[in-house]
Amino acid sequence: MAYALCFLLFMIGLYCAAVKKNMVKIVIGIMIMEYAVNLFLIMLGYRSGGQAPIVGRGDIAGAGGKVLDSFINTSVDPLPQALVLTTIVISLGSLALMISICIRTYEKYGTFDITEIRRLKG
């Protein structure tokens, strides 16, 4: 269910980026897609009632230093969180560039409407 909502959010972003005529709204649409994917990644690692994936003294048993199964079965997957941090940084970079291009375009054309900004044709 939660995954379906995530996918719905992704499609809303895609719709917004594809259909809207305002440059800023297109940027917002792309960012919605970005957040949908981030949410999806976080949910992959989520476990309700899970614990932080840091091995404490109580989680190791025996002389061999083996991690207990109970710890492995309840800890949260830390990798998606690292991935999401990375994608947030990347999306910050591309968002900054997109917004600055929007600003420069507005200075040149005096509008954000992409139907009026058409010097190039496909």
Q: Indicate the residue type of 15.
A: Y
73 part of the interface to other proteins, by CB under 8 A: no
> With CB under 8 A as the contact rule, which of the stretches 51-59, 64-72, 79-87 interacts with other proteins?
79-87
Instruction: List residues bridging with 60 in a β-sheet.
Output: 67
Using CB under 8 A as the binding criterion, the count of chain residues that bind other proteins stands at 33
90 part of the interface to other proteins, by CB under 8 A: yes
Please state the φ and ψ torsions of residue 27, each to the nearest 5 degrees.
-60, -40
Site for other proteins in 2-31 (CB under 8 A): 10, 14, 17, 23, 26, 30
Q: How far apart are CA 51 and CA 70, in angstroms?
A: 11
Q: How far apart are CA 99 and CA 81, in angstroms?
A: 26
By C-beta, is 57 or 108 nearer to other proteins? Answer: 108
By C-beta, is 18 or 52 nearer to other proteins? Answer: 18
Q: Among residues 37, 13, 42, 17, which one has the least CA distance to residue 91?
A: 37
**102, 25 in Cβ contact below 8 A?**
no
By C-beta, is 18 or 63 nearer to other proteins? Answer: 18
By C-beta, is 62 or 122 nearer to other proteins? Answer: 122
Give the dihedral sign, CA 35/41/42/44: positive
Residues lying near other proteins in the complex (CB under 8 A):
10, 14, 17, 23, 26, 30, 33-34, 37, 40-41, 44, 79-80, 83, 86-87, 90, 93-94, 97-98, 101-102, 104-105, 108-109, 117-120, 122
